[in-house]
Amino acid sequence: MAIANVNNENKRILRIAIPSIISNITVPLLGLIDVAIMGHLGAPAYIGAIAVGGMLFNIIYWIFGFLRMGTSGMTSQAYGKRDLSEVTRLLFRSVGIGMLIALCLIILQYPIRKLAFTFIQTTPEVEQLATLYFQICIWGAPAMLGLYGFSGWFIGMQNSRFPMYIAIIQNIINIVASLGLVYLLHLKVAGVALGTLTAQYAGFIMTIALWIKYYGGLRKYISRNGLFPKEAMLRFFRINRDIFLRTLCLVIVTLYFTSAGASQGEIVLAVNTLLMQLFTLFSFFMDGFAYAGEALSGKYIGANNRIALFRMIRLLFIWGILLSLCFTLLYLFGGKRLLSLLTNDESVIREAGKYFYWTLAIPFAGFSAFLWDGIFIGATATRQMLYSMLVASTSFFILYYAFRGILGNHALWLAFITYLLLRGIVQAGISRKILRQI
């Protein structure tokens, strides 16, 4: 019986994790496709415009990622309780708030763009083209933020297949639309922006269609009087506020890491950028298991099933350790080859060798933080997750400023690895109190 329970739990974890990993891997393809298309038009300004415009939207949507995470945790708990009324209300709350934020972004697009370009130093031509890209893609905010709400809701409902299908379809539409608009209608940057916009709304429409077909029966639980009750909305905003602040800390650390590398010269910046791609690759896989942690921990907490919850957490960490071992071995024996696929600049590859051993520490230093993030989101213990991020972020800056004069770029990597490690350690300590209260 015990073996059967473990096997079934592993199947549940993988049923959510694998489609989520595939979805994660497809996300950067949208940006890569745009850059690839612009890269064949013969002017570096086109590539620069897409890079700058894409970075702006990555930051904007990253900050509002709480719409997905908060919705996932609350929905999974309601699902575990079999409270279909609350399950339905949560979707409409999340998508409704997403639409309101999107409207604010569209209204405030001019000051947002002006503020962004005061920090981003670029040539007038790149700024002009990036502005055009921004002015078109900002109209995709309702689709993107609406998709965040739906994705979180689907994961909370233990369904990560639909977000995977949507991500794949979006990429296909983006490729076809962008190629057609750029090479047939010769719209260049505007064509890429319109192709991205088309893919975003196609994904959103597909999401609504899937919901109506497979979850349309939940519409009978919609009540205008019960959609936005004061107590539920206060909880919704409290949870999402904590996730927003936590994400803001994460964005600050990530942007500062890039900025601190850039201040040390082009070679160091290139090295750090390339080595961070190895962290990004690892994060795609760990995020998939974090999503499984969100969905299943919330479900078991909602159902008040402590035995299943603790079994799932143990198995989730076994998967985390195995994945960390695999990635450590991959980077140890194949990491240099991966770098050579990303660049053929011998000076960058040679310089990367001085810092490469830091990337070997990433998997085991970071896996715990990813998994605890998922579990804490499922438990809606967002305040505790924020505390751990504040401790880790503060430590990042203290360590870097303490050792940068002695260690140079090594101090940056030491600070980053410690930041990852501390997030997991602090959350592990806090988790005892949270899990005892369940």
DSSP state of 217: G
Q: CA 257, CA 241: separation in Å to the nearest integer? A: 24
Please compute the mean of the pLDDT values over residues 289-316 and round it to a whole number.
Answer: 95
Provide the 8-state DSSP code for 140: G
- How many Å is the Cα radius of gyration of the chain? 22
Is residue 123 helix, strand or coil? coil
Query: What is the structure's pLDDT at 247?
Result: 93
pLDDT value, residue 22: 93
Instruction: Provide the pLDDT for residue 40.
Output: 65
Give residues with Cβ within 8 angstroms of 173, minimum separation 6: 198, 199, 202, 203
pTM of the model: 0.92
d(CA 430, CA 337): 40
Mean pLDDT score of the chain, rounded to an integer?
A: 89
Q: Which one, of 52, 30, 32, lies nearest residue 196 by Cα? A: 30
Residue 356 near residue 275, CB atoms below 8 Å:
yes
Of 56 and 16, the structure prediction assigns the larger pLDDT to 16
Tokens of 332: 């140890």
Domain ranges of the chain: 20-228, 237-438
Q: Which two tokens stand for residue 2?
A: 């015990």
Q: Which of 126-140, 362-376, 388-402 has the lowest mean pLDDT?
A: 126-140
Average pLDDT score over residue span 318-342: 89
Residue 373 has what pLDDT? Answer: 96
User: For 226, which DSSP code?
Assistant: T
Q: What is the pLDDT of residue 47?
A: 74
Angle at alpha carbon of residue 141, lines to 137 and 143, rounded to 5°: 105
Mean pLDDT on 96-118:
93
pLDDT score at 224: 61
State the average pLDDT over residues 222-248. 83
CB distance 279 to 366 below 8 Å: yes
Q: Locate tokens 């988790």: which residue?
A: 431
Give which of 12, 90, 14, 91 is closest to 300, Cα–Cα. 12
Q: Which comes out higher in pLDDT, residue 361 or 48?
A: 361
pLDDT in tens, 238-257: 999 999 999 999 999 988 88
DSSP string computed for 326-384: HHHHHHHHHHHHHHHHH---HHHHHHHTTTHHHHHHHHHHHHHHHHHHHHHHHTT-HHH
- Would you say residue 1 has pLDDT above 70? no
- Mean pLDDT over 427-431 rounds to 93
